[in-house]
Amino acid sequence: MTPWVTRLIIANVLVYFVEMTMPRLIDPLVFVPALVLLRPWSIVTYMFVHDPNSIMHILFNMIGLYFFGPRVEMRLGGTRFAQLYFISGVSGALLSFLLAFGSPIVGASAAVYGVMMGFAWYWPHERIYIWGILPIPSRIMVLLVTGFSLFSGLSGSRGGVADFAHLGGFAGAFLFLKWMERASGAARFKRAVQAAPPEADRLIGNWRKVDPSTAHEVNRDELNRILDKINSTGLGSLTPQERTFLMHFVPPDDRKPMS
């Protein structure tokens, strides 16, 4: 468990307890698209409200946050993770406002779907076991969920599922992660590597001086995998994403930028 994941789970559980004991206090927190001007705060507060008639609603959302959230938070840091979470939730409400104006929504699903997008963004080939049995790469899972939500939303979103909120969560997370990538300069680095593959040694510097023991345990396995790949098939076999990842672990004095 990481700090923000812990805070969010506790907050959701506490609000659910209030729902069970004092339900009248919860109504103003629900996001009703038609009332957004009267309840502007509900675009955020709805993320902490769940269906009081089904414990499975909050349970599945918190399970998703518990399994996907910690690794994403450790990768992004607490501030960026919180931004990802709330931006995804708000974008879920906004898409619902545009495409499902007559449907009130509650639940952390849009925000959790944004965290799921973050997980697939950084670990696209990580296998997720559906029902604990069926293995599927995380990026394929996101594509399948997106397709299903789109089909269900356009068909009428039966069963009280906020499909457009889910899609909005994915969209908000994707745009936020894309912005982060560009803001960090990673995109420029990847373009430079793709434009001049022979310069990879100069861009990355002396990768042999990388010490995996100095990397955070979350990144250590990936770093060791990349170093093993270089030893087996050479530096030129790395993808732009792998080169970008490796660059962060090369001692600064050993990096040799292109002239």
Helix (H) or strand (E) holding 20: helix 3-21
Q: Which of 42, 109, 138, 157 is catalytic?
A: 109
CA within 13 Å, CB half, 123: 20
Residue 165: name the closest of 100, 242, 110, 99 by CA.
110
Question: In degrees, to the nearest 5, what angle opens at C-alpha 116 toward C-alphas 112 and 119?
Answer: 140
Give CA–CA dist 78/17, Å, rounded.
26
157 is catalytic: no
Tokens standing for residue 234: 């050479």
At a CB cut-off of 8 Å and minimum separation 6, what does 249 contact? 210, 211, 212, 214, 215, 219, 223
- The string of DSSP letters for 134-184 reads EEEEHHHHHHHHHHHHHHHHHHT-GGG--HHHHHHHHHHHHHHHHHHHHHT
What distance in Å separates the CA atoms of residue 258 and residue 248, rounded to the nearest whole number? 16
Check 88, 103, 149, 166 and give the catalytic one.
Answer: 166
Task: Give the position of tokens 């002239």.
Answer: 259
Annotated active-site residue 259? The verdict is: no
User: Catalytic residue numbers?
Assistant: 109, 166
